[in-house]
Amino acid sequence: MNAHVRLGLIGLISLTMPLAACAKQDSTSGSAAAIAPTIAQSSAPQIVTGLPDFTRLVEQVAPGVVNIDATIGGPDEDSAAGAQFDGSQGIDESQIPEIFRQIFGPGLQMPGMDGEGGRMRPRGKSMGSGFIISPDGYILTNNHVVDGSSTVQVKLSDGRSLKAKVVGTDQGYDVALLKIDARNLPSLRMGTANSLKPGQWVVALGSPFGLDHSVTAGVVSATGRTQAGMGGPNYVRFIQTDVAINPGNSGGPLLNTSGEVVGINSQIFSQSGGYMGISFAIPIDLAISAADQLKKTGKVSRAMLGVTMNPEISEAMASKLGLPDTNGVLVTSVQPGSGADKAGIKPMDVITEFNGEKVSDYSDLPSRVAPLPPGTKVSLTVIRDGKPRKVEVTLTALEQKAVGDAGGLQDETDSDGTPGASPAVPQRALGFSVQELPESQRQRLGLPEGGVVISSVSRALAAETGLAPGLVVLQVNRSEISSVADFNKAVAGIKKGDVLMLLVQSPRGVRQFVAVTVGGAG
């Protein structure tokens, strides 16, 4: 017998046996029977009255849902997608945004993306879904469904297959706007995701594995799911559902019980490439805003505060910063000339509220800021040295800047071939030592303000904090560091148990704060 079948039978037996035992007790035990009338006569209100019937909803909505086939690469090109997915391989991990790989590891999948469900796909094809948003032929889908495509075909519910023009795409929101040459098309009604609550019924339509106009239903599991982790954009507050979504569902609509679109089905969490109970949809409000911009300008503009953020606030950091808890966003740097800079925000400030709403962590803030138009004025609550204050900030336009590889910091020499760093300064009490940053490295890293480079770290401290040789220390508490002399001055007078807030920069240009407890892990 197949192992999965055996497990399934075992699970079924373990589930039904206790129920059978309860039934036997009711027929033989007077005490158990006496309890039953009390339960039946309870005056508690009936909360759930029955399962919903989605047939009328599907009849009305299905004509506005389309099947999308995108050819990846040119017609004569042996594309990378076609070469990789020969029917026996799984997802191409390089296609998944880094941000999601860090949260979910290899489990997060994008239904319809090249490689997922490769067994069901022709070579060099991307399969997905979409829906009509206006009678004159505008269609919404996911960016990853059409990304890199040379041709896109849209199959309508009436059987017609029409070539589509890609009006514009946006990777940050994973949205694409298509246009087909047709009129009087059945379009779907747009709803809003803002009023969704966990437990609400929702319905998905799409083409899983190419099986067009398939219907699945479930409930909203959670709202406001953000992309925690470092290394990528974090602009979407996803709707999490338990609606069954599979390869080919990407870009299809998520609907409420009124038949209104509340989201675009985009991603699933899976260890197998198939549905495992967790699906994510892009809120329709965000998607429509992006589509309007794509239609008008061909691109999506986002706002920014102009700060970079620490990945976490530890208990030690919260204590040092005078915070009541570890919630909020710790600012690591401020972009010159940005709204945050003009408002006086500084590194080591902690943002705890945005427009009157609590900010839980660093993954929460970008998704609140980015959808707003540049020029919007927002109110922040900022804690500095344990004291909260209100700050008004005018958001500026987000500037996408790739962080390049700045190279290693070890074994460097100046142009004359001599070592560029002065001898290491021992800091036994700290558990690490620093030395001067060579001029060649300073220039390569773009650090006019200077810094000192960590030359050695104790094993215990490295394990506890993540500090490593090669990291550049730019700030100790609120003191700027440009030399070893500055560093020595900043740590003078420290005693066991003190907490130092170090602002460090990696060779790749990523900055973050690290809390070091003096004598804690030396």
In angstroms, the CA 382 to CA 398 distance is 21
Instruction: Give the pLDDT of residue 269.
Output: 77
Is 8 a domain residue?
A: no
- Is 249 labelled as part of a ligand binding site? yes
Per-residue model confidence (pLDDT) at position 389:
94
CATH number at residue 345: 2.30.42.10
Look at residue 24 and tell me if it is in a domain.
no
Q: Which of 343, 374, 397 is the last residue of a domain?
A: 397
Question: Concatenated DSSP letters for 211-232?
Answer: -TTEEEEEEEEEEEE---SSSS
Q: Residue 152: beta bridge partners?
A: 70, 164
Torsions phi, psi for 495 (to 5 deg): -135, 165
- pLDDT at position 456: 87
Cα–Cα distance for residue pair 434/472, rounded to 1 Å: 9
In a domain, 499, yes or no: yes
Question: Does residue 35 form part of some domain?
Answer: no
Same domain flag for 280 and 170: yes
Boundary-marking domain end, from 397, 422, 440 = 397
Number of H helices, E strands in the chain: 13, 27
**Stretch 288-301: mean pLDDT:** 92
Range 354-359 contact pairs with CB under 8 angstroms and sequence separation of 24 or more: 354/378, 354/379, 354/380, 355/379, 358/327, 359/327, 359/328, 359/329
Q: What is the pLDDT of residues 300-357, one digit of tens each?
A: 988 989 998 888 899 999 999 999 999 999 999 898 999 999 999 999 999 999 999 9
- Give Cα separations from 181 to 26, 79, 489 (angstroms): 67, 28, 70
> What's 72's domain CATH number?
2.40.10.120
On whether both 206 and 271 belong to a single domain, the answer is: yes
**Separation of alpha carbons 330 and 310, rounded Å:** 5
Looking at the structure, tell me whether residues 146 and 281 fall in a common domain: yes
> Based on the domain organization, do 288 and 346 belong to the same domain?
no
Q: What is the pTM of this model?
A: 0.66
Query: What is the set of active-site residues?
Result: 144, 174, 250
174 carries a ligand binding annotation: yes
Q: For residue 188, give the DSSP letter.
A: P
Q: Is 221 annotated as a binding residue?
A: no
- What local confidence, expressed as pLDDT, does residue 74 receive? 54
Cα separation, 392 vs 382, in Å, equals 10
The reply to whether 82 and 213 lie within a common domain is yes
The residues facing 176 across adjacent strands are 141, 169
202 and 112 co-located in one domain: yes
User: According to the per-residue pLDDT averaged within each range, which of 24-33, 99-108, 218-227 is highest?
Assistant: 218-227
Q: Give which of 154, 180, 138 is closest to 71, Cα–Cα.
A: 154
Asked if residue 144 belongs to a known ligand binding site, the reply is yes
Return the percentage of the chain with pLDDT > 70, whole number.
72
Q: Is 356 helix (H, G, I), strand (E, B) or coil?
A: coil
Same domain, 137 and 279: yes
250 shares a domain with 102? yes
The domain total for the chain is 3
Three-state secondary structure of 292-308: HHHHHHCCCCCEECCEE
What pLDDT is attached to residue 282? 93
The pairing of strands 357-358 and 201-206 is unpaired
pLDDT tens, residue by residue, 382-402: 999 899 999 999 999 887 543
370/300 Cα distance (integer angstroms) = 10
CA distance 99 to 93: 12
Same domain assignment for residues 344 and 256: no
Range of the domain at 219: 56-297
Which tokens in the block code for residue 82? 């076609």
Do 343 and 251 fall within a single domain?
no
> Are both 143 and 280 inside the same structural domain?
yes
Determine the Cα angle at 78 with ends 76 and 82, to 5°.
125
Alpha helices in 29-107 (DSSP H): 30-40, 55-61, 80-84, 98-104
Cα–chain-centroid distance for residue 130? Answer: 22
> Could you say which of 266, 281, 297 is where a domain stops?
297
Q: Are 326 and 313 in contact (CB under 8 A)?
A: yes
Do 225 and 321 belong to one domain?
A: no
